[in-house]
Structure 1
Amino acid sequence: MKKLIIFPLLVLSLTSCDKDDKVDLTQEVEAKRLLQDITQTQKWQLVKMTGQIRNSETTGANMPWQEFYLFHPDGSFTKFMQRGGVSTSASGIYTYHRTSTESYLELFYPDYSDLIGSCTSAEPKETLVVHKNGLQSSWWACDGPGLWYEKVD
């Protein structure tokens, strides 16, 4: 009797995630395509912020600050941030990398800036990982906030 119950549950669990996985993969492929060969300036807006505490997600105007990146076809970028009524920006160059397991952008700044969200202050750079819905800052890996970006038309 147990076998008769376990088999249908196993089949159900194996097929229940299939559609979502396909959607996630399609979104990730699209994000990679957008970033691999930038032919015109792209704007990527901060849309979600998470903390280290469970269920600490904020979005939109509720986030402590607003920011976005402009990525240009010549390999340059500018990061803009508005916090407490003060606007700041920093520019640099980016490179796109693709490994067998992930794709990511490395952003290199000419000098250290408070705008750099990174695990180390050893060099002025930050990393944005291509995620299923856009880009995610790697800062969260070392107790920084989780920062999620989406392309804006």
Structure 2
Amino acid sequence: MKVSTFFFGLLLFLSSCNKDSDKSIYQDYQGLWVLVKMSGNTPDSETTGQEMGWQESYKFNSDGTFSKSREQNGTVTESAGTYSAVKSEEGKRLELTFASTSDIIGSCLGDQKEVLLLQSSTVMTSTWNQCDGPGLEYEKTMKID
């Protein structure tokens, strides 16, 4: 009985540690990230503020879910899914998987995935420009509890 109680307690302890570490990973990215700059493939094609082709934001939640919103020509389009944080030689990145197809997914492969590179704790860029999409830069604006 003591052995099974010990193993149950150890299992409970280990599972709570994993949840805490996952939660702290997501807390690093949690919050609202707003598009602040767009650039094209031609020199001097950078735009900011209301001059950009659309306004856009991501809301990252501490449970590994996100939502994306884009306002273009008076129409708001929203989509959502899950994300994971990945560390690589290039640095930290967020890999997003959308729950359904949407016109606002900025992907080189035309699938339901996006990759965002973390330049710092408050600046993030899209990888869409690697396949002739626009260069997109986002800034973290507030923490969401």
User: Are residues 1:66 and 2:59 paired?
Assistant: no
**What SS does the aligned partner of 2:128 have?**
helix
Q: Which blocks of at least 5 consecutive residues in structure 1 are unaligned?
A: 1-34
Q: 8 Å contact 2:70–2:78 — kept in the other structure?
A: yes
Partner of 2:115: 127
User: Are residues 1:113 and 2:114 paired?
Assistant: no
Match of 1:92, as an amino acid?
Answer: G
The 1-side partners of 2:132 and 2:107 are apart by 10
Deviation, structure 1 residue 64: 1.0
The 2-side partners of 1:112 and 1:119 are apart by 14
The 1-side partners of 2:77 and 2:65 are apart by 17
Given candidates 82, 87, 90, the residue that maps to 2:79 is: 90
The 2-side partners of 1:131 and 1:138 are apart by 12
Q: 8 Å contact 2:54–2:72 — kept in the other structure?
A: yes
Spell out, residue by residue over 1:74-111, the C-alpha distance to the aligned partner (whole angstroms, 9 max, x if none): 00000000000001100000000001331100010122
Deviation, structure 1 residue 131: 1.5
Match of 1:135, as an amino acid?
Answer: M
Give aligned-pair identity as a percent. 41
**What SS does the aligned partner of 1:69 have?**
strand
Given candidates 117, 138, 142, the residue that maps to 1:149 is: 138
1:38–1:144 CA distance, 2 compared to 1 (3 A):
same
Q: Which blocks of at least 5 consecutive residues in structure 2 are unaligned?
A: 1-23
TM-score by length of 1: 0.72
Q: 8 Å contact 2:34–2:140 — kept in the other structure?
A: yes
The 1-side partners of 2:84 and 2:101 are apart by 18
The 1-side partners of 2:30 and 2:118 are apart by 18
Deviation, structure 1 residue 135: 0.6
**What SS does the aligned partner of 1:77 have?**
strand
TM-score by length of 2: 0.76
Structure having the larger proportion of residues in strand: 2
